[in-house]
Structure 1
Amino acid sequence: MRRLLPLALALTLATSAWAQEPAPAPDRPLPDAAQEARAKALFAEVRCVVCQHEAIADSPAAVAADLRQLVRDEIAEGRTDAEIRADLVRRYGDFVLFKPPVREGTWLLWFGPGLLAVAALILLLLFSRRRRPETAALSAAEETELNNILAAGRNRRDPDANASDD
């Protein structure tokens, strides 16, 4: 049994190395410089569906390489940028674009942060305008008693205070 443990460990490590995603094929730019410039501009607008915080231009994921090649193929076929964006949205949803279109389904995405900021400002104004209750003045008897306590030195010091705190 002890002889099988190193073999099982080596087999486990080897299978995890095989399970890794292969590196994507290198990008093949379009022969026309104007078309390649259009493709690169679209790459910056499209979000990687794996990384989710990177554009496909910067993402090392294989899916991003596939999307770059898809965009290049569609540009080579003569599709417009709007048609390419629409096709990507059809496949992956509005999330694939860094600037999704403004429509009913994305209103919260576009206007939600602004509405939250306005609501916070209104609440801040309401709470700052609220009057704090005024403390009632001491009566003459209470004023006399307080002066007597202070004069007599009967006020209790903070038990945690040191003599240097006085």
Structure 2
Amino acid sequence: MRLLLVLAFLAVPVLEILVFVQVNQAIGVWPAIALLAAGSLLGSWIVRREGRKAWRKLQEAAQSGRMPEPGAPGGAMTVAGGVLLMIPGFITDVVGLLFLLPFTRPLMRGLGARFLARRIRTLAEKTAGPGLGSPFGGAGSPFQAMRDQPSGSGPVIHGEVIRDEPGRPAARDSSRDLTDR
């Protein structure tokens, strides 16, 4: 997965430059730059608008004393589409528009849901092994060992005991271990 991300970060700018050169040759340099600027302005407007909506919903929920509603996939997709539009380049603009247009949004939502389901399944198999099991592997919960240990049989922690009683100066007793009580 990391290799795929590194390749994407390397390939996308190169592809964006190639597409810009092709668009530049087809319509000219100034119209191509104007299209990129318009896409960035549209993206920043969408991100700002959706951010305000989310902030307003959060404030309303806090004022009424209720938990905020979980983020709808549509709002997250709109913000993602706006961010992709803000990135200069025609490829990212097309993908951003796919996130924004009402007739392509269900397709993108389905692709995203399948990707996330596959990713979660992969992570669960890495931590628990194939099939069902604890997400902590064969070891069970990380707190299981602490529950199974009888009290007082743990490691000795050396430290300094500071007793602070009201009306008396703080006395330091560094000659005792914390387990010597």
Normalising by structure 2, we get a TM-score of 0.27
Normalising by structure 1, we get a TM-score of 0.29
Bigger-Rg structure (1/2): 1
Q: Considering fraction of residues, name the structure with more helix.
A: 2
